[in-house]
Structure formats: structure tokens, C-alpha cells
Chains A and B, each alone.
Chain A
Amino acid sequence: MKPGHGEVLIAEGDVERAEDEQRLIEEFRRQLDAGLWAAVPRSDREGRRESIMVRTFEEIPWDADRVIFFPRAAGGR
């Protein structure tokens, strides 16, 4: 998510291909190092939509089709 732009595709690939996975891991770390939060939207067991916050690449569910990065929350006025 970007101010003035909305959604931006950062990287895509197939985690079952080694070179893709490595690229995705590096990009994931780069985004988190830049201070962004990462979330994976999905359906829970009862079919409701929810998201899970992920802090490491390993926490991303194996069946996730995308990870959304967004600016870290801060207390507002």
C-alpha cells in the first residue's frame, strides 16, 4: 500500500522454485526492515475472512497467495 498510489506489486513467484523463494524471502525481509507490517488475508475455519500478521517468512501459511505490506501503526491524534 502506498500513499498516492494504492496497491503496488513488489514481487511474485512460486515458493516451490528455489530461486523464486530466495527472491521472495529477500524482498519480504527488505519490506520488514523498512518498517512495514505484513499480513496475509484468509478465511478462518468457519469461513469468516480475517488476516494473520506475519513477522517471519516461515510464518506465512503454505497456501497463502499473497502477503500485503502496509505502514506500521502509530498512535494518532
Chain B
Amino acid sequence: MVLALAATALVALALLSDLIVPRVEETWARLRAGRRRTPTWSYDPGRERRAEQRARTLLRSCVNEEEWAMYRDLGFLRVWGTLADGPDDVGGTGGAPYAYLIYPHRPIVAYLAQTHRLLNEYCVTFPDETRPYGSSRLPDSDDVLAKWMALTGDERRLISTANMHLPGRQLDPAQVRRDLWRLSQWERTRMRQLAAGDGPDRPADRQSAA
């Protein structure tokens, strides 16, 4: 009787081995991996501040003086759209000029320049999956510069890569309209100062433009 049961158990084990062995191997590998030490990076505010400072220096060296002043004073950049009929997915702008607002680590917002009508939000990221310091997120000013380079270099490619949403999904439309109003006020002041020949004010460089 015992012999028969043992033989049956052996046969059952042999039949089930195809199912059991891979699971055992997987569990063993997982246990071994769990025991290994994985490098952990703690958040270092000093390192992040230095990274942001380098990023701001790089951004400043790439954009023109007006764009740099805009980012420094307002915390975002405006880039004019160059596609004849606007971004592909807005149903055409009828040739009306349009532009984008670039915020650090927020969606890019497309809008009509004359009416300030918001067209779309474009959600795009530039993740560095090597995570050199535990994070895949670029410093704020590097994120802005990456968007600026991708938009001015190949607008259609960036827009087609981004996830498009209607205005208001992430950014409050009222806040964006306030930003557009701030931008128009800023430009008016700047024009007045340039016309007066005394040059625009240069407030002290803020650490964070966001």
C-alpha cells in the first residue's frame, strides 16, 4: 500500500515538474536578488541646487537675452509655433499665429497669440532611465531647455510624441490666462524701457524660476 502511494507520488511529481521547477527557480532568484544590496540615493538638496544652477547657466547660453529674461522673471518660456496651420490636432488655426508656453515639469500649452485662446496641453517628459542619482527627472531648467530645443528643432516630432489633452487637464486655464496677461504686461514694460533707452531692469537672478 505504502509502496503504491510512493510510486504514485513520484509519478505525480515527475508530471508536475515542468510546472514546479520554473517556479522554484524564479522564487530562488527573487530571494537571492532580495538579499543583494541595491544602491540607494537619498535626496540631497545641495546637489539638486547645484544641478539647477548648472542647468540655468546652460539654458541662458542657448536662448536669447529676451527669452532668458522672460524665464528669469516669469518662470516660463514662450516659443512661437511655426507650422502653417497650427499643431496637427487642433483642427487648424486658420493661419493665425500661435505659440507655446513652456513650464518646468508641466505640460506645454499651445494658444492663439492674438485671442489667448488655449488650444491644447502637450504632456511630454524627458526621462533618463539610467537614474544616475536615483531619479530620472532633469533639473527644472534642463527640462525647459529640452522642451525648447525639441520645439524649435522639430516641432512636429515633439508634438506627435507628446500626449495631447484639452486645456485644463493639469494646468488651471485661469492660471495660464493670468500668465499670458503677465507676459503681455512684462513685454509692454520691457518695450517701454527699451524705447526709453535705459534697458530693461535686471532683477537679481532667482534661484528657482518655477
Contacts and interface: CB of A to CB of B under 8 A. Distances in A.
A63 B150 CA distance: 20
Interface residues of B, number: 49
Contact of A70 (B61, B107, B149, B161): B149
A73 B64 contact: no
Nearest to A37: B150
A3 B135 CA distance: 6
A75 B54 contact: no
Interface of A: 1-7, 37, 39, 41, 48-53, 68, 70-77
22 contacts: A1-B55, A2-B51, A2-B138, A3-B137, A4-B44, A5-B132, A6-B141, A37-B150, A41-B61, A49-B63, A51-B152, A68-B58, A68-B149, A70-B138, A70-B142, A71-B136, A73-B125, A73-B162, A74-B127, A75-B124, A75-B163, A76-B163
The A interface is mostly helix, strand or loop, or mixed, namely strand
A6 B124 contact: no
